[in-house]
Amino acid sequence: MANRVFGGLRKFSAINEQRQIFNLVFKMNKLKTKYKNLVQSKPKSSSLSTALLVIYQPLCVMHKKPI
């Protein structure tokens, strides 16, 4: 009985970990798209610093770090 419970917890943990990885990949793809759109719409002189800030802010939110 205990083995079944722990097996179920391991399976749930593995599924939860896969979901977290999927969510992270999805967020990174959204950031990549934002970066591409930003680079195409801004002059080259200011686009890199602005794009890096746009990418850095959501990453801080994901890791709950202040900017």
Residues 6-64 have pLDDT tens digits of 667 677 788 888 888 888 888 888 888 887 877 777 665 565 666 667 776 665 555 55
Residue-range definition of the domain harbouring residue 12? 2-63
Rounded to two decimals, the pTM is: 0.45
Q: Beta-strand (E) ranges in the chain? A: none
| Domain total in the chain | 1
H helix runs in 1-67, sequence order:
2-41, 44-63
